[in-house]
Amino acid sequence: MSDQLQKFMFSAAPVRGEIVSLRNTWQEVLTRREYPAPVRTILGEMMAACALLSANLKFDGTLIMQIFGDGPAKMLVVQCSSDLSMRATAKLSGDEGTIGDSASLVELLNASGHGRCVITLDPRDKKPGQQPYQSIVPLSGVDGPLNSMAEVLEHYMHHSEQLDTRLWLAANSERAVGMLLQKLPGDGGIVPHPGELDADTWERVCTLGGTLSQDELLKEEPETVFRRLFWQENVQHFEPAAARFECTCSREKVGSMLKMLGREEVDSVLEERGHVEIHCEFCNQRYEFDPVDVAQLFLVNALSQGVTPAAGQRH
Same domain, 119 and 174: yes
Distance CA 117, CA 157 (A): 12
**227-245: per-residue pLDDT in tens?**
999 998 899 999 999 999 9
Contacts 24+ apart (CB under 8 A), 266-275: 266/294, 266/298, 267/294, 270/294
Instruction: State the burial class of residue 20 (Cβ atoms within 10 Å of its Cβ: 0-12, 13-18, 19+).
Output: buried
Same domain, 62 and 181: yes
Q: Band of the pLDDT at 192, cuts 50, 70, 90?
A: very low
**89-136: per-residue pLDDT in tens?**
999 987 666 788 889 999 999 989 999 999 999 888 878 877 888 899
Residues with Cβ within 8 Å of 83's Cβ and at least 6 positions away in sequence, in order, are none
Residues with Cβ within 8 Å of 12's Cβ and at least 6 positions away in sequence, in order, are 191, 196, 197, 198, 201, 233, 234
Is residue 123 classed as helix, strand or coil in its secondary structure? strand
Same domain, 156 and 275: no
| Residue 171 confidence (pLDDT) above 90 | yes
For the chain, first and last CA: distance in Å? 70
Same domain, 10 and 37: yes
Task: Considering only residues 195 and 17, tell me which one the structure prediction assigns the higher pLDDT.
Answer: 17
Nearest to 88 by CA among 78, 98, 73: 78
**140-152: per-residue pLDDT in tens?**
887 788 999 999 9
> Could you say which of 188, 212, 245 is where a domain stops?
245
Backbone angles phi, psi at 242, to 5 degrees: -85, 140
Domain range holding 126?
4-245
Same domain, 72 and 207: yes
Amino acid 313: pLDDT: 43
Mean pLDDT of 176-194: 71
Same domain, 189 and 298: no
Amino acid 277: pLDDT: 87
Total number of domains in the chain: 2
Same domain, 135 and 236: yes
Same domain, 184 and 258: no
Task: Considering only residues 20 and 306, tell me which one the structure prediction assigns the higher pLDDT.
Answer: 20
**Neighbouring-strand partners of residue 85:** 244
Nearest to 69 by CA among 49, 44, 92, 47: 92
Q: Band of the pLDDT at 6, cuts 50, 70, 90?
A: very high
**271-301: per-residue pLDDT in tens?**
888 888 887 888 888 888 888 888 888 886 5
Mean pLDDT of 297-306: 63
Mean pLDDT of 44-59: 92
Amino acid 185: pLDDT: 79
Distance CA 73, CA 70 (A): 7
Backbone angles phi, psi at 132, to 5 degrees: -60, 150
Give the up-direction half-sphere exposure of residue 134: CA atoms within 13 A in the CB hemisphere: 9
Same domain, 200 and 170: yes
> Could you say which of 245, 272, 294 is where a domain stops?
245
| Residue 13 confidence (pLDDT) above 90 | no
| Residue 198 confidence (pLDDT) above 90 | no
Distance CA 46, CA 303 (A): 44
Mean pLDDT of the chain: 86
> Could you say which of 220, 245, 270 is where a domain stops?
245
Same domain, 232 and 288: no
Q: Band of the pLDDT at 312, cuts 50, 70, 90?
A: very low
Amino acid 115: pLDDT: 92
**CATH classification at residue 40:** 3.55.30.10
**CATH classification at residue 283:** 3.90.1280.10
| Residue 18 confidence (pLDDT) above 80 | yes
Same domain, 127 and 199: yes
Same domain, 209 and 273: no
CA distances from 308 to 101, 292, 305 (A): 59, 18, 9
